[in-house]
Chain A
């Protein structure tokens, strides 16, 4: 369906999402692509990163040879602790998540439905199921953003009418950052609030499988 690649690279998507993180917020970045957002958070604001394995105030990866296998993030990669950081056990860490204390989480997705349903933990079938903290994050964090390519590698839309993969949560996604657009989940489906430079609304709509409208204007599509 798609031919030559269009839209943002993974780094550019991370940089775009980082622009919308507000000063003073407590944020959990999901394993994989969302983790890349950390390096693009503007220096003039202070954001505290949470990792669910027990650290607030997570810093970047250590310089080679300086890491500690007992100072890791949720993706089990070595990290650092910034001045003002704190360590805590898992029940406290998930009280931060489930008790609504975190302002924002950004997660990856297999599919997001037009009503905000998220599927991001299981492709079903033969693989060993693994959920981690995804279901806790979507049920408890104040704002849930998704960062994902707009379509799969073979061009299948990931923003869909309803999810076909097992759900992580029902009606939980607030906003989606893709290579093509920034999309909010509204009462009547997807709402494009920003387009990547050089991308048209029609190109986004053609790659979306569900009700979508251009919320930059009042024009309603489909």
Chain B
């Protein structure tokens, strides 16, 4: 029998090693698996490379993980936020490295990683400083830059609904990078607001098939980052 459910967020992030690469779903607060990120902070793993589109806001979730000094390197497209100075301060002081990637290239690198494609060529960023010093190749008279796939040891993602096989449905624009990250990580951990029996999710509506998921934890009422920030909550 396949049952990917685990008891709590602590069990969900068990086994993460120092220096691991961790993909974290979400675009801004939409889809950010805050409870799993807080469990990762409690776990204590450090020297992490984190892949996320942004760098969090306030001092909860991803911003709290960064503030706790656990992130050696961020791979992201937009490391700025209206209400967080956590990443900029660590970046300027040289304590956190940044690999800046155009958003579509970031998504495609993760997708490629999950699909067994080691690299691909794209015209995005050609002629800009983000493509400097990289391998270029012309296709049909247009210049392209080689991009390498991204994979991870762990992905932390948030779904609206899951079953014990790991089949997932997301919530509106909270889907964003999560289906790609689920494919690209050796271990994919999902927090789901609802956990149902197999068959209760229409197979036509499954967005992430369970084969890409390793652990499912039920988080019935996930916190919203903006709500926590507004209330001045910090973690831990």
Q: How far apart are the CA atoms of A136 and B107 in the complex, in Å?
A: 11
- Residues of the A chain whose Cβ atoms lie less than 8 Å from the Cβ of B171: 70
Q: Of the 9-residue stretches A11-19, A50-58, A186-194, A205-213, which lies at the interface with chain B?
A: A50-58
- Residues of the B chain whose Cβ atoms lie less than 8 Å from the Cβ of A76: 27-30
- Residues of the A chain whose Cβ atoms lie less than 8 Å from the Cβ of B180: 89-91
Asked whether any CB of chain A lies closer than 8 Å to the CB of B130, the reply is yes
For residue A76, which residue of chain B has the nearest CB?
B28
Q: Provided the pairs A89-B176, A89-B178 are in contact, do residues A169 and B127 lie with their beta carbons within 8 angstroms?
A: yes
Contact A94 B31 (CB under 8 A): no
| Nearest Cβ on chain A to B236's Cβ, whole angstroms | 23
Asked whether any CB of chain B lies closer than 8 Å to the CB of A62, the reply is no
- Residues of the B chain whose Cβ atoms lie less than 8 Å from the Cβ of A136: 102-105, 124
Asked whether any CB of chain A lies closer than 8 Å to the CB of B136, the reply is no
Asked whether any CB of chain A lies closer than 8 Å to the CB of B231, the reply is no
Specify which of A53, A69, A81, A87 is in contact with B227 (CB 8 Å cutoff). A69
| A interface footprint on B113-144 (CB within 8 Å = 1, 0 otherwise) | 00000000011111111100000000000000
Contact A168 B128 (CB under 8 A): yes
Q: In which size bucket is the chain A interface?
A: 35 or more
Specify which of B104, B128, B226 is in contact with A98 (CB 8 Å cutoff). B104
| Nearest Cβ on chain A to B5's Cβ, whole angstroms | 23
Q: How far apart are the CA atoms of A198 and B169 in the complex, in Å?
A: 55
Q: Provided the pairs A128-B79, A131-B103, A139-B123 are in contact, do residues A69 and B226 lie with their beta carbons within 8 angstroms?
A: yes
Q: In which size bucket is the chain B interface?
A: 35 or more
Contact B173 A139 (CB under 8 A): no
Contact A90 B124 (CB under 8 A): no
- Residues of the B chain whose Cβ atoms lie less than 8 Å from the Cβ of A81: 172
Specify which of A53, A88, A166 is in contact with B27 (CB 8 Å cutoff). A53
Contact B128 A135 (CB under 8 A): yes
Q: How far apart are the CA atoms of A68 and B31 in the complex, in Å?
A: 12
Contact B124 A139 (CB under 8 A): yes
Asked whether any CB of chain B lies closer than 8 Å to the CB of A83, the reply is no
Q: How far apart are the CA atoms of A129 and B79 in the complex, in Å?
A: 7
Asked whether any CB of chain B lies closer than 8 Å to the CB of A21, the reply is no
Contact B107 A94 (CB under 8 A): yes
For residue B183, which residue of chain A has the nearest CB?
A91
- Residues of the A chain whose Cβ atoms lie less than 8 Å from the Cβ of B31: 70
Asked whether any CB of chain B lies closer than 8 Å to the CB of A167, the reply is yes
Contact A131 B78 (CB under 8 A): yes
| Nearest Cβ on chain B to A89's Cβ, whole angstroms | 4
| Nearest Cβ on chain B to A56's Cβ, whole angstroms | 11
| Nearest Cβ on chain A to B45's Cβ, whole angstroms | 25
Q: Provided the pairs A90-B180, A128-B80, A136-B105 are in contact, do residues A69 and B128 lie with their beta carbons within 8 angstroms?
A: no
Contact B77 A130 (CB under 8 A): yes
Asked whether any CB of chain B lies closer than 8 Å to the CB of A132, the reply is yes
Contact B176 A54 (CB under 8 A): yes
For residue A75, which residue of chain B has the nearest CB?
B28
Contact A89 B175 (CB under 8 A): yes
Specify which of A91, A98, A131 is in contact with B130 (CB 8 Å cutoff). A131
Contact B79 A89 (CB under 8 A): no
Could you tell me which A residues sit within 8 Å of B by CB distance?
51-55, 68-72, 76, 81, 87-91, 93-94, 97-98, 126, 128-136, 139-140, 166-170
20 contacts between A and B (CB under 8 A): A53-B27, A54-B27, A70-B172, A70-B173, A70-B174, A87-B175, A88-B175, A90-B104, A91-B110, A91-B180, A94-B103, A94-B108, A98-B108, A128-B80, A128-B92, A130-B100, A136-B103, A139-B122, A139-B124, A140-B123
Could you tell me which B residues sit within 8 Å of A by CB distance?
27-31, 77-80, 87-88, 91-92, 98, 100-108, 110-111, 122-130, 170-180, 207, 224-227
* Additional A-B contacts beyond A131-B102, A135-B105, A136-B102 (12; CB < 8 A): A53-B28, A55-B172, A81-B172, A87-B175, A89-B177, A91-B111, A94-B108, A129-B100, A132-B78, A136-B104, A140-B104, A167-B128
